[in-house]
Amino acid sequence: MDKDNYTSLHGFVLLGFSGHPKLEMVLSGVVTIFYFITWVGNTAVILASLLDPHLHTPMYFFLRNLSFLDLCFTTSIIPQMLVNLWGPDKTISYVGCVTQLYVYMWLGSTECLLLAVMSYDRFIAICKPLHYLVIMNPHLCLKMAITVWSISLANSVVLCTLTLNLPRCGNNLLDHFLCELPAMVKIACIDTTTVEMSVFALGIVIVLTPLSLILISYGYIAKAVLRIKSKAGQHKAINTCGSHLTVVSIFYGTIIYMYLQPGNSASQDQGKFLTLFYTIITPSLNPLVYTLRNKDMKNSLRKLVRVDHESTKLKRNQVS
């Protein structure tokens, strides 16, 4: 039987943290808790921004996209990860691994570009407040969102297809807890320079270009904030941008730090924990960051909880 056909039939083995059984038990509990927080937090943000007319603005339109992305991102990883952590079976089917690879790359790329679009939105809001709603009209916002998701999908299709076409000579042991592109490249049995160069080139476009645009946007924002004479105005502007800047710092900081690590065995284990951080912990922090620093979102969530409480109370009264 052809060795690559063998992999297609029998799938892959995700080694993950299998060398540390006690750590797996702890991680399964931690991951479950953060997955629950991610679902509750991001679902609340989506519902609050949809149901409250005051939040029907470009900023919250993109925030809804981010929350939806985080829900999809974690769901593409955590269920399979929990199955592997809870039992001795560390396998994932070929179809499951390929699906996870494409979705993971697609959503990761989307978050990079979406954060850049959100920074542009904040730039217009702070630097051109009188023209904000004219420039960031619903039609433009929709076009920007579609463009971000489409470019990211194209990036995922190109890179993942190149990676999957590499011969693996029967190798099916992935030294990771998910089907990630670098882990898949490592098990190839030929020279992978061409694929690695393609990844590097598209990485500049998808990661460094958006980061550069974010830094430029916040440079202009900082100048505009310093020109605001009233302390109240400055405080409002800082609060408006502070949440997004915090999310950008956590997401990009983790990715840049991780990919600058040398490829030794220690850094591989460290890389797993860093991947765990930006794929599981970061999506759970995003709703908290935006809620804690945003008065409008906090008020909207209070209304949402109040309405839910009142409807529950009304149903109980009808039953009794």
* Token pair in block for residue 63: 């925030």
309 band by pLDDT with thresholds 50, 70 and 90: low
Position 148 pLDDT exceeds 90: yes
Position 242 pLDDT exceeds 80: no
Nearest to 303 by CA among 58, 129, 54, 106: 54
Give 12-306's CATH code, choosing from 1.10.30.50, 1.20.1070.10, 2.60.300.12, 1.10.533.10: 1.20.1070.10
- Report the pLDDT value the prediction gives residue 156, as an integer from 0 to 100: 92
For the ranges 9-23, 54-68, 122-136, the lowest mean pLDDT is seen at: 9-23
pTM of the complete model: 0.85
User: Which tens digits make up the pLDDT trace of 33-82?
Assistant: 999 999 999 998 898 889 888 888 999 999 999 999 999 999 999 998 88
Cα 180 from Cα 251, distance rounded (Å): 17
DSSP assignment of 15-52: -TTTT-HHHHHHHHHHHHHHHHHHHHHHHHHHHHHHH-
- Report the pLDDT value the prediction gives residue 9, as an integer from 0 to 100: 54
Q: Roughly how many angstroms between the first and final C-alpha of the chain, as a whole number?
A: 69
- Residue 4: left if φ>0, alpha if ψ -120 to 50, beta else—which one? alpha
- Across-strand partners of 35? none
Give residue limits of the domains in the chain.
Answer: 12-306
User: Which tens digits make up the pLDDT trace of 269-286?
Assistant: 677 888 888 888 889 888
Cα 217 to Cα 117, 206, 226, 233: the distances in Å are 10, 17, 14, 19
- Report the pLDDT value the prediction gives residue 1, as an integer from 0 to 100: 42
